Amino acid sequence: MSTLSTDIRFSEAPLKLVTVNYSLEFRDSAVWTDACAISGMEIRKKRFCDWHTGVLCSLLLMTVPHTGKAAELQSLEAIAQAVSEFVLSEHPEDNGIQVEVNPLDKRLRLAACESPLQAFWSPGSRSIGRVTVQVECPGPKPWRLHVQSTVTLEGEVWVLSRSVQRGQLLDEDVLVRQAVTLGANNAAFTSLGAPIGDLGPWMGYSFSQRVAAGKVLNERMLKPARLVRKGEAVLIRIDRAGMKLQTKGIALKDAGAGKPVQVRNSRSGKVIDAVVVSKGVVAVLN
């Protein structure tokens, strides 16, 4: 930053000379005064004559030295590239993915980032379809920007072959594999949830709502099913040293598939630690 003090004299009337003293400060690129905007400087007044503002600004411009090149601006192309690279990194196993970054406003003026740009999903954004990516500059002049994009993916997904009811257990019999364009405006993909590719980890879950046929199976449709309920009878399986036994018991709490649960042996009254295997069936932990 540089400072210049100057006296400017001009005639208010043919016989009167007025002197105005100014202190000038030069900063960055575009800055402002109370009277006028001057590209490349800021004029901060000490004393100001209220009349002939436009004339005074013109005279000040004549006294201002050149301060060098304007501050560098952040490349909008680099921001778009950061968004595209981030989205692709979030889908490493998806070969047919396409990312279309919405054009950025060319009037956008951001300081050039001295550090590598950082990108994240904006809070609440999905990862397929219309998405929003947060781009940040962590440098000395930090800024943050939310960029909208469209992400589409060609591939096969699980689609409901018929409608299901709330609370119904997930079953491969109600699903078919189908080639779709995820993220496009098609009837098969209208939910915010991420589509499910591998059914294994989701078996034993139940539908959290009624879902119509033709919808792509996604994570938001499912919730852990309570396969055993507190106070209800369960079958206890024991597999030790090659011996397979089973007995009856009572569940002491609700639990879903693969979840630990305590049960009381109906014969001995002993509390046993077990894991839920299927509806009404638990296996004793070794």
CATH number at residue 247: 2.30.30.760
Same domain, 16 and 51: yes
> What's the total number of domains in the chain?
4
Would you write out the chain's pLDDT as a tens digit for each of its 286 residues? 434 444 444 444 443 333 334 333 333 333 333 333 333 333 333 333 333 434 444 444 444 444 444 568 999 999 999 999 999 999 887 777 899 999 999 999 999 999 999 999 999 898 888 899 999 999 888 999 999 999 988 878 899 999 999 989 898 999 999 887 777 665 455 555 677 888 888 887 889 999 999 888 988 899 887 888 899 999 999 887 778 889 999 999 988 878 899 999 999 999 999 999 888 899 997 7
Q: Which two tokens stand for residue 258?
A: 């693969």
Is residue 87 within 8 A of residue 149, CB to CB? The reply is yes
Q: Where are the alpha helices (DSSP H) in the chain?
A: 53-63, 76-89
Same domain, 205 and 241: no
Is residue 122 within 8 A of residue 133, CB to CB? The reply is yes
Is residue 132 within 8 A of residue 102, CB to CB? The reply is no
Is residue 22 within 8 A of residue 46, CB to CB? The reply is yes
Residue that is last in its domain, among 63, 84, 110: 63
The Cα–Cα gap between 225 and 223 comes to: 6
DSSP state of 285: -
Same domain, 239 and 209: no
Residue 70 in domain: no
Q: Which domain holds residue 253?
A: 233-284
| Sign of the four-CA dihedral 184, 190, 192, 196 | negative
Same domain, 11 and 37: yes
Residue 279 in domain: yes
Same domain, 238 and 273: yes
Residue 69 in domain: no
Q: What is the dihedral of CA 7, 11, 17, 21, to 10 degrees?
A: -20
Residue 71 in domain: no
The Cα–Cα gap between 3 and 27 comes to: 10
Same domain, 10 and 20: yes
* CATH number of domain containing 160: 3.90.1210.10
Is residue 283 within 8 A of residue 235, CB to CB? The reply is no
Residue 9 in domain: yes
C-alpha distances (whole Å) from 114 to each of 70, 77, 101, 133 are 16, 16, 23, 20
The Cα–Cα gap between 110 and 79 comes to: 11
The model's pTM: 0.46
Residue 68 in domain: no
Residue that is last in its domain, among 153, 171, 198: 153
The Cα–Cα gap between 159 and 48 comes to: 73
The Cα–Cα gap between 67 and 169 comes to: 72
Helix (H), strand (E), coil (C) string for 75-120:
CHHHHHHHHHHHHHHCCCCCCCEEEEECCCCCCCCCECCCCCCEEE
Same domain, 204 and 268: no
Residue that is last in its domain, among 153, 176, 204: 153
Same domain, 139 and 173: no
Residue 83 in domain: yes
Same domain, 102 and 141: yes
Residue 203 in domain: yes
Helix (H), strand (E), coil (C) string for 216-229:
ECEHHHEEECCCEC
Return the number of other C-beta atoms located less than 10 Å from residue 10's C-beta.
13
List the one residue out of 240, 224, 241, 236 whose CA is nearest residue 262: 236
